[in-house]
Amino acid sequence: MALQSPSIDMTAGASVAATPASASRGYWQSVRRRLRRDPVTVVCGVILLLIVLSALLAPWLGLADPYKTSMIYRLKPVGTPRFLLGSDELGRDMLARLVYGGRLSLAMGVTPVVCALLIGGTLGITAGFLGGRVNMLIMRIMDVFYAFPSVLLAISLSGAMGAGASNTLLALTLVFIPPICRVSESVTTQVRGFDFVDAAKASGAGTLTVVRVHVLGNVLGPILVYATSLISVATILAAGLSFLGLGVKPPEPEWGLMLSTLRQAIYVDPVLAALPGVMIFITSLCFNLMSDGLRAAMDVKA
């Protein structure tokens, strides 16, 4: 699976920065109205909010100990008394492990994208605004990473560094830096050619001032929309690495690792074995649909 950089239309974003502050506020109010009127985005946002809150508030929800094992209660089906969602192969409560597992799974999906956004976004904006040899140097280095499919690159890096949550986060961060850098460079190159940027340079504004005042406001929107779509990819990749034994180590509750340890239980109780996969699917789908909704809301021409 190779990550593709989408085509970005900067006409709308540029018009925001080029107009007075009141017009800019009106644009963002219009974006908020569009988001509120999009039922799919609203429902996905509510679902993600519930997942995040349940993961953060897990110690106060009165759940069972997600690490406590009991061979007497192993592989209890869904709906068993004391085990609302059944128990895993070691008798641990599935509901508790799914809720606590959301902590690691969400962290493994969001953290690499945020880190890659900071690094790749900075490199891309620098390359796009300065151009010339700086652009060539940065983008040719990014092209080296593009020679490998994202899944193969993630597996190779994780395998070289060893299993563990920290190594998985580092590997995924390195995977997502190139695509974010490429999108950042693309939109910054477009903004750099607009008249208001040339006018700011002619007025004597420094490079940092032009970037901070006139460039960032136009490029952050498309970059953030693209980064949001990568969270679902990061969640799936992190779960896949854990499933292969290259990610989170047992006995930590994490959806990909739970899917791996329960794969033999599919012959006994397929519903129980599928629960971690259902959580991965729902979370990834919600992030994808929210990204699409945000992109549509920011398109003022739609």
Residue 17: per-residue pLDDT: 46
Residue 49, burial from CB neighbour count under 10 angstroms (0-12, 13-18, 19+): exposed
Residue 54: per-residue pLDDT: 94
Can you count the helices (H) and strands (E) in the chain? 12, 0
Q: What CA–CA distance (Å, rounded) separates 93 from 74?
A: 9
Amino acid at 89: E
Encode the chain (302 residues) as per-residue pLDDT tens digits: 656 555 455 444 444 444 444 555 666 677 778 888 888 999 999 999 999 999 999 999 989 999 999 889 998 999 888 899 999 989 999 999 999 999 999 999 999 999 999 999 999 999 988 888 999 999 999 988 888 888 888 888 888 888 888 999 999 999 999 999 999 999 998 888 777 777 877 777 777 777 777 788 788 888 988 998 899 999 999 999 999 889 888 888 999 999 999 988 888 889 999 999 999 999 999 999 998 888 888 775 54
Residue 200: per-residue pLDDT: 76
Residue 214: per-residue pLDDT: 76
Q: Give residue limits of the domains in the chain.
A: 21-54+102-254+287-298
Residue 149: per-residue pLDDT: 84
If one counts every other C-beta atom within 10 angstroms of the C-beta of residue 106, the result is 21
Q: How confident is the model over 196-215, as pLDDT tens digits?
A: 777 877 777 777 777 777 78
Beta bridge partners of 80: 83
27, 262 in Cβ contact below 8 A? no
Residue 301: per-residue pLDDT: 57
Question: Taking the domain 21-54+102-254+287-298, which CATH number applies?
Answer: 1.10.3720.10
Q: Which are the contacts of 86, defined by CB distance < 8 A and separation ≥ 6?
A: 75, 76, 77, 78, 79, 80, 94, 269, 271, 272, 275
Q: How confident is the model over 232-286, as pLDDT tens digits?
A: 999 999 999 999 889 888 888 999 999 999 988 888 889 999 999 999 999 999 9
Q: What CA–CA distance (Å, rounded) separates 91 from 249?
A: 18
161-165, long-range: CB < 8 A, 24+ apart? 163/245, 163/246, 163/247, 163/248, 163/249, 164/247, 164/248, 164/249, 165/104, 165/108, 165/247, 165/248, 165/249, 165/252
